[in-house]
Amino acid sequence: MTETIPVPSRLALSFKARREELNLTQEDVASRVTALLTPPGKLTQQVYAAFEKGRSQSTRYAPAIAKALDLPIEVLEEEWASAAPAESSRRPILANAKYIEEPIALWGDEPPFGDVVEVPMLKEIALSDGSGQMSVVEQGKVKLGFSKSALLSMDIDIANVVCITVSGNSMEPVIPDGGRAGVDRGRTEVRDGDIFAINHDGQLRVKVLYRTPRGGLRMRSFNRDEHPDEEYSAEGIRSENIEIIGRVFWYSVLR
């Protein structure tokens, strides 16, 4: 399997050239940018390095990086303009949604169907031995917004279903902080590009997974600007105590 070498964007190359001209390290740039951001905003050296090396092709911190490197804002405008497709080469705009014509009915305390699904909730808890280690356990139950028959139609065994709450911004904009997700513990075989819940040494995580050669694993976040890919060899999976809990088959978000 041939490894793809990342190619930095023109903007990343401009930032790197300016950084080297000023004799700054990547850590220096990250610190300067962080000082310009409103707390708790922060740019880490790892995130900046991922952009500069081409592992990330864009960054929302570009204006702040330009300011930290004392580059004129025109540099951003020129680079973005050069990356924009010509009018003649743009794809036709196609709709990917439609209005729901039926009126929306609100539930009361009880859902409109009798066979509502109630499943365990997974949470992280600290072990009682004082070691500071975390463990992922079932704690309480939650009702999901669909019926048992709907799960059966998806070939999902209700006994394998658990619910989790996603925290942090790594999976934004698809699953933002506070979003809930349903996990099928009966499906742990990795399908490249699918979303899975993971027990990572006692930490409950949600990531897009990809298989890598010789039994390895790549974890990907939707917010790749701030959360670069993580890669683990087969040995790394064992030493990091990484366990795939199951496939995320449903998630719900209120914005």
Quote the DSSP letter at residue 169: S
Mean pLDDT of the chain: 79
Which residues, other chains included, contact 184 with Cβ-Cβ below 8 Å and sequence gap of 6+? 156, 157, 160, 161, 246, 247, 249
Which residues, other chains included, contact 232 with Cβ-Cβ below 8 Å and sequence gap of 6+? 216, 217, 218, 219, 240, 242
Convert the pLDDT of each residue in 184-237 to its tens digit: 999 999 999 999 999 988 888 999 999 998 899 999 999 888 888 999 999 999
Convert the pLDDT of each residue in 43-64 to its tens digit: 888 888 888 888 777 788 888 8
Q: Which CATH number fits domain 116-252: 3.40.30.10, 3.40.225.10, 2.40.50.100, 2.10.109.10?
A: 2.10.109.10
Q: Which CATH superfamily is domain 10-88 in?
A: lambda repressor-like DNA-binding domains (1.10.260.40)
pLDDT recorded at residue 184: 92
Mean pLDDT for 131-141 is 69
Count the Cβ atoms, other than its own, within 10 Å of residue 158: 13
Report the C-alpha gap between 19 and 22 in whole angstroms.
5
Phi-psi region of 246 (alpha: psi -120 to 50; beta: other; left: phi over 0): left
Domain boundaries, the chain: 10-88, 116-252
Q: Are 228 and 56 in contact (CB under 8 A)?
A: yes
How does residue 1 score in pLDDT terms, banded at 50, 70 and 90?
very low
